Amino acid sequence: MRNSLILALALMAAASPAFAEKALPLHIGGRVAPAEDGKGYVHQWPGIYFEGRFRGTGAAVRVKDSANILDIFIDDQLVRTISKPGDGQIEFTGLTDSEHSIRVEKRTEAAWTSAQFSGIFVPDSAEVLSLKPRARQIEFIGDSYTVGYGNTSPKRECPGDGVWATTQTQLAFGPLTAKHFNADYRVNAISGRGIVRNYNGSTGLTLPQAYPNIVNLDSGAIPDTDAASDDWAPQIVVIGLGTNDFSTPLNPGEKWKTRDELQKDYVSNYIGFVQSLRAANPDAYFVLMATDQANGEIQAQVKKVLTGLKAAGETRIAFIPMNGLTFEGCDWHPSTADDLKISASLVTFLDSQPDIWHGR
Do the beta carbons of residue 243 and residue 291 sit within 8 Å? Answer: yes
How far, in Å, CA of 168 to CA of 30, rounded? Answer: 16
> Which residues, in sequence order, are CB contacts of 195 under 8 Å at separation 6+?
206, 207, 208, 241, 242, 245, 266, 269, 270, 273
DSSP state at residue 46? T
> Which residues, in sequence order, are CB contacts of 190 under 8 Å at separation 6+?
109, 111, 143, 147, 207, 210, 217
Do the beta carbons of residue 58 and residue 92 sit within 8 Å? Answer: yes
C-alpha of 25 from chain center: 21
Alpha helices in the chain (DSSP H): 144-147, 162-166, 173-180, 207-210, 243-246, 259-280, 297-311, 336-351
Q: Provide the 3-class DSSP secondary structure of residue 308.
A: helix
Long-range contacts at 244-247 (CB < 8 A, ≥ 24 apart)? 244/143, 244/192, 244/193, 244/194, 244/197, 244/198, 244/199, 245/194, 245/195, 245/196, 245/197, 245/298, 245/301, 246/197, 246/294, 246/297, 246/298, 246/301, 247/199, 247/293, 247/294, 247/298
How far, in Å, CA of 238 to CA of 243, rounded? Answer: 15
Catalytic residue positions, numbered: 144
